[in-house]
Amino acid sequence: MFKKILIANRGEIALRVICACKELGIPTVAVYSEADQHSLHVRFADEAICIGPARSSESYLNVASIISAAEITNAEAIHPGYGFLSESAHFADVCRTSQITFIGPSPEAMRLMGDKDSARKKMSELGIPVLPGSGVLQSEAEALEAAARIGYPVMVKASAGGGGRGMRAVESAKELPRAVETAQQEAKAAFGVPDVYLEKYVASPRHIEFQVLADEHGKVVHLGERECTIQRRHQKLLEESPSTQVDAELRRQTGHLVVEALKQVGYTNAGTVEFIMDENRKLYFLEMNTRIQVEHPVTEMVTGLDLVKRQIEIAAGLPIDLPHETVNLRGHAIECRITAENPETFAPSAGKITGFNAPGGTGVRLDTAAYAEAVVPPYYDSLIAKLVVHGSNRAEAISRMSRALDMFIIEGISTSVPLHQKIMADADFRAGNFDTHYLMRFARNGARALEL
């Protein structure tokens, strides 16, 4: 096992990795920007090193500074968390060259599966259904030809990255050239790569993803699915497991396809294979995230497995000790992503937290780096907490989440707690009747809102 691990991240995911390391008896090194000097991940790590100014490009995305911090502290491995450098094959390459273990898949697997276009092609070759689409677009004429072949509406999508950046729905040939140009510019700014491709647009989709673990000895297991359908601008707001739309047979069939495909790819460590489900409950491969997901706690709640500890063990060369290619899911879990945003306009809300009460009780988990008097800086993602509950069934999980949200106090800044309270009370959500457009049912004063 590793003697010391550096966490190349911040906030709740850095704390999450620190917790796993403490349970494994592994000392940790936190890195932090000048804006995060008083953050909890700095306080609870065994060592901490400032790696630069507040801007991510000069700190959490600064490969040289992070590698230097690992070398100075004699860290044997780096856990990247999610976001920042977590899906950077270049960073994984540098770690390998520096003889530091990257806790994640190999750079080769990241390049293959992290690029959406190449991943689509590979998964199609391996027998996993994909939506009709194109390769990376080289010209306006090629885009128009591909869209005519696929049939409108189509979705323009960036080959790299995620989070809704570089994505545009297009209804007609007249709209396509501008949409492609805009998506390319957005993708270039967000990911440094302007490549985009086309994919058939599904009008009322569900977003379903399968969690996988793979060791260095050829074993791959899947841990069931998560429902990630409720989103805003392709950013997930809440997740649950299992999905109301996936029965035992569909779970078995799809999970087996995923396991066999990743064996062929030679994938290792944790990953998530994402699917779009159409109105006929047919699943189509969407993309793969080659890292731990924000929403991994819901899978932990229904499986009883610590995925971050498993990541570390796999990276250390230990085999997965699960006897089968899947595990039984127990009960139902829901995660609400609590963001520092106005719950109606979604405007960012940085500032000092003046009051804070963490909900607790049976079946409640809170992953957060927030506390009373903490300052939420304006430089990073707005996620400040993940509230997760587990119940014996979905109805109990919803009731438990409603109770936990009512007891969650964050004062001094605006948060998404009121929005999640409305979702929990909504009849359509409770009945499982929703798609990815759930939050866009009407516009009020130019701001997207949820009508109840």
Structure-token pair, residue 184 = 């390319």
Q: Rounded to whole angstroms, what are the CA distances from 450 to 102, 181, 232, 343, 418?
A: 41, 31, 11, 10, 11
CB 440 within 8 A of CB 431: no
- Choose among 267, 130, 258: nearest CA to 202: 130
Which of 215, 203, 217, 225 is CA-nearest to residue 152?
203
Residue 12, amino acid: E
Question: For residue 128, what are its two tokens?
Answer: 């996993």
161: left (phi over 0), alpha (psi -120 to 50) or beta: left
Residue with tokens 């829901």: 334
Residue 311 CA to residue 269 CA, distance in Å, equals 6
**Residue 104 to residues 32, 33, 84, 193, 269, Cα–Cα distance (Å):** 21, 23, 14, 22, 5
Residue 341 per-residue DSSP state:
B
Alpha carbon 428 to chain centroid, angstroms: 25
Residue tagged active-site, from 206, 251, 291, 337 = 291
Rounded distance between C-alpha atoms, residue 414 and residue 350, angstroms: 8
How many of the other CB atoms lie within 10 Å of CB of 224? 20
DSSP, residue by residue, 87-146? T-HHHHHHHHHTT-EESSS-HHHHHHHHSHHHHHHHHHHTT--B-SB-SS--SHHHHHHH
CA distance 369 to 325: 34
The residues that bridge with 47 in the sheet, in sequence order, are: 29
- 196, containing H or E segment: strand 196-200
Residue 48 structure tokens: 């901490």
291 in active site: yes
How many Å apart are CA 21 and CA 78, to the nearest integer? Answer: 12
Active site residues: 291
